[in-house]
Structure 1
Amino acid sequence: MDGMLYPELYRSLEAVRWNMEKDIPWSQFDASLLSDEQARTIKMNAITEWAALPATEMFLRDNHDDSDFSAFMSIWFFEEQKHSLVLMEYLRRFRPDLMPTEEELHAVRFPFDPAPPLETLMLHFCGEIRLNHWYRRAAEWHTEPVIKCIYETISRDEARHGGAYLRYMKKAMTRFGDTARSAFAKIGVLMASARRTEKPLHPTNLHVNKEMFPNDTVQSKLPDPAWLEHWLDEQIKFDDGWEKKVVDRILHNLSLLFERSFSTAQDLNRYRKEITSRLGSAIQNATHSV
C-alpha cells in the first residue's frame, strides 16, 4: 500500500460525506421561490452530471496500468453520480414534470476516444475547479433555499475532487518528471486562457469522439445543446470576475505543484517552453549516448 493515495483519500472523503436524506433541508422547500426557468436548468445539470459515467469508463480504460488512480475512481464516480441523483431527487419531489428520462440520461453515455492520461488528469483537475465556481455562482443565482443548499453542497465536493486530482498530479511528477510537468503545463495554459475562446473550456464541452464530430461533446447530447452557454452568460452570469477566480485558482495550484510563481497564463507558458526545451535536450542527449 506504500505510495498509494487511494486508502487515505477514501478515509478523508468518507469523513466529510454528506447524507442525501439528513443533510439536505428538504422541508424548507418554498415553491414560490422556484421559477420554471430555474427548474429547467436543474434538469440540464442533472443530465450533465450523469456524464461521470462515460468519463469513468474513459479513465479506467486509459489508466489501465495505474490501479491506485483507478481505485480512486470508485469514489469519484460514486460522488459524481450522487450529484446527478440529488438534483433528480429535487425534481422528483418538487417538479416531477421535469425529471430527466432514462433515454435523456443514456444519451450522454457515448465512447470517448483514447487520450493521453496525464493531459486528461490535468483537464479534469481544471474541470473540478471550474465546476466548483459554477455551482457556487448557481447557488447565489437560485432563490429557492433547498436548491441553494444542494448547489453549495455539490460545489464543495468538486473542490475536494480537485484536491484529490492534484495529489495524483504530484505523484505523476515523481514517476514521470518533466513529461508530467509538460503535460500539466500545456493543459494549464489552455485552461488559464479560457477567456480568449468562444466557449467555456470544460470536459463536458470538449470534442471527444472523432467519428461523431461535431456531435461528440456531452453538451451536444443534452435535450437543449445550447443550454450551457445560456446558463453561464444569461442566467448565473458567470462573468469576467468569476472567470478570473477560476484562472487564479488554477495558477495558484500550479504554482504550488511546480514550486514556481505564476501570476498569468503567460508566466505559465514561459515555464511550459522551458520544460519542453529541457525535454528536447534530454531526448537529444539520450540519442547521442546510444
Structure 2
Amino acid sequence: MLYPELFKQLESVRWDMDKDIPWSQFDGSLLSDEQAQTIKMNAITEWAALPATEMFLRDNRDDSDFSAFMSIWFFEEQKHSLVLMEYLKRFRPDLVPTEQELHEIRFEFEPAPALETLMLHFCGEIRLNHWYRRASEWHTEPVIKHIYQTLSQDEARHGGAYLRYMKRAVNKFGSEAKAAFAKIGVLMASARRTAQALHPTNLHVNKDLFPRDTIQSRLPDPEWLEHWLDKQIKFDLQWENKVIERILHNMSLLMNRSFKSVQELNRYRKEMLAAMQQPADATPSPA
C-alpha cells in the first residue's frame, strides 16, 4: 500500500495555518479590489475538492489504498479553500464566499474510467502548481503572495502522489494503463491548441446539467477563469509550455520512453491501443 508512506511523507511537510502564514505582514495598500475578487473565486474553485472526492470514492470502490489517500488529498485541498477564505475574513470580509456560493459547485460528476480520471487530476495538479506560482508573482500584497506560493507547493506534492499511483497502475494493468494515461496526457498537453485552458474546473462532467455542468459555469462569475488567466496573471504561451514540458517529462519517466512532443505521446498512445488489440487479433477464428 502507498497510503501509509504518503501519509507520513505529506504529514512531515504540512503547514500550519496560524503559525506558517505571515498574517502580521499584511499591507492593505498593496491589495487591490481586483486582486481581492480573484481570491474569492479561487476559494470557491478549491471547494470543488468536495465533489471531486465524492467522485473518486465512488469510482474507486475496489481500491481501498487510493481511497484512503483521498483522506489526505481532500483535507489539504479543502484547507486551500479555507486559508483563502481566512485571508478574506481577516482583510476583506465583504468578499468571503457565502455557504450557498460554495454549495453551488457541489454536484455529481458522471462516472468515468478511473485510470483516465487519475491522469486528468495528475495533469490538473501540474497546471494548478504553475497557475498559483504565476498568481503569487502577480499579486503585490505579501501575505497572499506567500499563500499562493504555499498552495503551489502543495499541488506539486499532490501531483507526485498521483504519479506514485500511476506507476502502480502501469505495473498492474500494463498497456491499458499506459493507453489511458497517454490519451489524457495528449488532451491536457494540447491546451494551447484549444480556446481555453484545460483543467478539471472547466471540463464538462454531467451532461444532464449542461450548460451548468462544469465547476467554472457554477461560479458567481463564469467568465472569471479565462479573464484571470489571460488578463490578470497573464498565463501566456511561455507558461503554458512549462506545463506541457512537465507533463511530457513525467510521461517519459512513467513509460520509460522519451516524449519530446505531444505528437510523440500520441503515437505512443496508438501503439498501446494496438498492443491491447493483438491478443484478440492473434486468436484463430473458429472453423
TM over 0.5, shorter chain: yes
Give the drift of 1:284: 2.1
Equivalent pairs, count: 286
Between the aligned residues of both structures, percent identity stands at 77
Supply the AA of the counterpart residue of 1:186.
K
2:99 counterpart letter in structure 1: E
AA of the residue aligned to 2:70: M
| Cα gap change, 1:288 to 1:72, in 2 (>3 Å) | farther
The aligned residue for residue 273 of structure 1 is 270
- Choose which of 144, 149, 154 in structure 2 pairs with 1:147: 144
Is residue 100 of structure 2 the alignment partner of residue 103 of structure 1? yes
Q: 1:162 to 1:288 in 2, by over 3 A?
A: farther
State whether structure 2 residue 240 is matched by structure 1 residue 258: no
Q: In the alignment, which of 114, 127, 138 is matched to residue 130 of structure 1?
A: 127
> Does residue 1:200 correspond to 2:219, yes or no?
no
Q: Does 1:56 align with 2:50?
A: no
Which of the residues 13, 16, 28 maps onto 1:16?
13
- Report the 3-state secondary structure (helix = DSSP H, G, I; strand = E; otherwise coil) of the residue aligned with 1:19: coil
- Amino acid in structure 2 at the alignment position of 1:53: L
Name which of 85, 90, 94 aligns with 2:91.
Answer: 94
1:53-79: per-residue Cα shift (whole Å, max 9, x none)?
A: 000000000000000000000000000
State the Cα deviation string for residues 74-103 of structure 1 (Å, max 9, x = none). Answer: 000000000000000000000000000000
Shift of 1:175: 1.1
Cα distance in 2, alignment partners of residues 57 and 38 from structure 1? 31
Shift of 1:288: 5.3
- Which residue identity lines up with residue 174 of structure 2 in the other structure? G
Pairing partner for 2:178 from 181, 190, 202 = 181
Q: 2:210 aligned with 1:213, yes or no?
A: yes
SS of 1:207's equivalent in the other structure is coil
Equivalent residue for 1:80, pick from 71, 77, 102 = 77
Q: Secondary structure at the match of 1:256?
A: helix
User: Aligned AA for 1:207?
Assistant: H
Closer, same or farther: CA 165–96 of 1 in aligned 2, 3 Å: same
1:286, CA displacement in angstroms? Answer: 5.1
Pair 1:287–1:163, CA change in 2 (3 A): farther
In the alignment, what sits opposite 2:228?
Answer: 231
Which of 237, 242, 255 is residue 239 of structure 2 equivalent to? 242
Give the C-alpha shift of residue 19 in structure 1: 0.2
Cα distance change, pair 121–286 in 1 and its aligned pair in 2 (3 A): farther
Distance across 2 between alignment mates of 1:245 and 1:165: 19
The alignment partner of 1:217 has SS state of coil
* Normalised TM-score (structure 1): 0.97
Equivalent-residue separation in structure 1 for 2:190 and 2:82 (angstroms): 33
Q: Which amino acid counterpart does residue 254 of structure 1 have in structure 2?
A: M
- Please name the residue that 1:37 is paired with: 34
- 2:172 is the alignment partner of 1:171: no
1:15-41 CA deviation, whole Å, 9 max, x = no partner?
000000000000000000000000000
Hey, what's the Cα distance between the residues in 1 that align with 2:49 and 2:277?
A: 36
Q: Distance in 2 between matches of 1:202 and 1:41?
A: 17
Displacement after TM superposition at 1:240 (Å)? 0.0
CA–CA distance in structure 1, aligned partners of residues 36 and 30 of structure 2 = 10
Q: Distance in 1 between matches of 2:26 and 2:285?
A: 70
| Partner of residue 118, structure 1 | 115
Q: 1:71 aligns with which of 49, 68, 71?
A: 68
- TM-score, normalised to structure 2, is 0.98
Range with bigger deviation, 144-153 or 269-278? 269-278
What is the aligned partner in structure 2 of residue 46 from structure 1?
43
**CA offsets, 1:197-233, max 9 Å, x none?**
1111000100000100121000001000000000000
Which segments of 5 or more consecutive residues in structure 2 lack a partner in the other structure? Answer: none
CA shift digits 1:97-147 (9 cap, x unpaired): 000000000000000000000000000000000000000000000000000
